[in-house]
Amino acid sequence: MNIPLTLTLSEEQSALQSESRKFARTEILPIAAECDRDSTFPTEFFKKAHASGFMNLYQEVECGGTGLSLTDTCLVVEELASGCAGMATSVVANDLALSPLKFFATDEQKEKFIKPICESGAFASFCLSEPGAGSDAAGISTKAEKKGDYYILNGQKQWITNGGYASQYTVFATLDKSKKHAGICCFVVDADTEGVTAGPHEDKLGQRCSNTTPVQFDNVKIPVSNLIGKEGQGFAVAMKTLDASRPMTAIIATGIARAAYEHALRYATERKQFERPISSFQGIQFMLADMATDIHAARLLTLHSASLIDDGKQASVESSMAKRFSADVGMRITTDSVQIFGGYGYTKEYPVEKLMRDAKLMQIYEGTSQIQRVVIARELLKDIS
Ligand code: CAA
């Protein structure tokens, strides 16, 4: 159900939010620091998340998903991210990989490619970025060659979330690089297909428990029935998918920011300097006031963009605004939280340094903050030029 313009949560939405918060407190928070330290992918956690309906949130019930609207998905994801952004990222990565199919696959393809993933609790990965094509998504080099009833894929994908655990990849490849975006196609590739190799897990600054790998495709032969949408439609498939997934990443940034704010608020009332809690100083109060305001604004922007998508409206600009604003807010608030904790905040004894490291990624993946500004500015200038 969509959030109405008043943005008052319905009883069902409040219950969903409380249930997700409880799940984050009991299943995520106790293991978050250890998984971060060791860069461990928490397989058992994901099994519990799947069993409790916290995986494949945005996928249709008929396809084995939880069947939430994008708005409700965002309510859940904020709670998961407030526990650990890396786990939230790995959770929503399945929705990112399956949404091209949700939007463009035939019923037969949905049955074949979405349902088994959702029902089994397996992972799927979205493979767009490459070593030489990040922001310039239309500049991908992974090649698709049609040979009879098959396509042969060759190329390398980079920064693939859950790449080492996925049993299925949603892969974007070009039939003809000179055609730029018009040559791109979207394919489903079974991870067990000969020639598919996931590389080693990246040793990242933050979101360390989320698995990130390169994935190599060497003469990978896939049937034509694995083409999603039409030949040359792949770029639009990717962009429409990102329109819907950017609110999910925006709300991860909000979840991180909220956790940092809550830690800072508590600490500011406990920590005494000059014989009084530091929260009694206006310098700290103003930081807390700005944090609370920015979190509220980020959440509203995100839920609004999600509700537009739920209503079937074009919301590229609103999604980009939500992602840009929330990611930048996440970075600023986590940095300020470390500042309020002072020297203690800079140590691993307290959770705020992790939040600051986790927040940085939000300004980079699913389109950098600069790319979001490109999307927004192009639309602003469209009718003028
Ligand atoms: N929906 C549908 N179609 C769209 C669209 C959208 N949102 N945006 C663009 N298109 C269409 C355009 O209408 C145009 O079509 P026509 O030729 O028919 O007119 C076509 O696509 C090309 O559009 P542009 O000219 O705007 O394309 P561009 O090359 O200039 O690129 C861009 C635009 C916004 C910069 C895009 O490349 C982009 O979003 N880059 C960032 C990529 C990104 O976010 N990558 C993240 C990878 S996933 C990840 O990080 C996840 C993870 O695992 C953690």
Cα-trace Rg, the chain: 21
| Rounded Cα–Cα distance for residues 22 and 237 (Å) | 35
pLDDT tens readout for residues 258-286: 999 999 999 999 999 999 999 999 999 99
**Residue-by-residue DSSP string for 294-345:** HHHHHHHHHHHHHHHHHTT---HHHHHHHHHHHHHHHHHHHHHHHHHHGGGG
> Residue 58 in 3-state DSSP?
coil
| Rounded Cα–Cα distance for residues 83 and 81 (Å) | 5
Residue 204's pLDDT is 98
The amino acid sitting at 47 is K
Closest ligand 1 atom to residue 242 Cα is 44
Residue 269's pLDDT is 98
Q: Assess whether the C-beta atom of 315 lies below 6 angstroms from ligand 1.
A: no
Cβ–Cβ under 8 Å, residues 186 and 170: yes
Cβ–Cβ under 8 Å, residues 145 and 173: no
Q: Assess whether the C-beta atom of 366 lies below 6 angstroms from ligand 1.
A: yes
Among protein residues, the one with the nearest Cα to ligand 1's atom 48 is 366
Closest ligand 1 atom to residue 125 Cα is 53
For ligand 1, the distance from its centroid to the CA atom of residue 10, given in whole angstroms, is 34
Confidence of residue 4 (pLDDT cuts 50, 70, 90): very low
**Residue-by-residue DSSP string for 229-250:** S-TT-HHHHHHHHHHHHHHHHH
Mean pLDDT of the chain, nearest integer? 97
pLDDT higher than 60, residue 251: yes
Q: Assess whether the C-beta atom of 367 lies below 6 angstroms from ligand 1.
A: yes
For ligand 1, the distance from its centroid to the CA atom of residue 8, given in whole angstroms, is 33
pLDDT higher than 60, residue 249: yes
Strand partners of residue 168 = 124, 190
Quick one: CA dihedral 130, 135, 137, 140, positive or negative?
negative
Proportion of the chain above pLDDT 70, given as a percent: 98
Residue 160's pLDDT is 98
Closest ligand 1 atom to residue 365 Cα is 50
What is the average pLDDT across 146-161?
98
Confidence of residue 385 (pLDDT cuts 50, 70, 90): low
Catalytic residues: 366
Per DSSP, 60 falls in state -
For ligand 1, the distance from its centroid to the CA atom of residue 181, given in whole angstroms, is 8
Residue 8's pLDDT is 86
Cβ–Cβ under 8 Å, residues 248 and 73: yes
pLDDT tens readout for residues 357-371: 999 999 999 999 999
For ligand 1, the distance from its centroid to the CA atom of residue 235, given in whole angstroms, is 6
Question: For strand 123-127 and strand 143-147, is the pairing parallel, antiparallel, or unpaired?
Answer: unpaired
Q: What are phi and psi of 373, to 5 degrees?
A: -65, -35
Q: Assess whether the C-beta atom of 316 lies below 6 angstroms from ligand 1.
A: yes
Give pTM, 2 decimals. Answer: 0.97
Locate the DSSP E strands across the chain: 123-127, 143-147, 150-161, 166-174, 184-190, 196-198, 212-223, 227-228, 272-273, 276-277
pLDDT higher than 60, residue 36: yes
Using CA atoms of 215, 221, 223, 227 in order, give the dihedral in degrees to the nearest 10: 40
* Spatial CA neighbour of 24 closest among 77, 93, 65, 101: 77
pLDDT tens readout for residues 195-208: 999 999 999 999 99
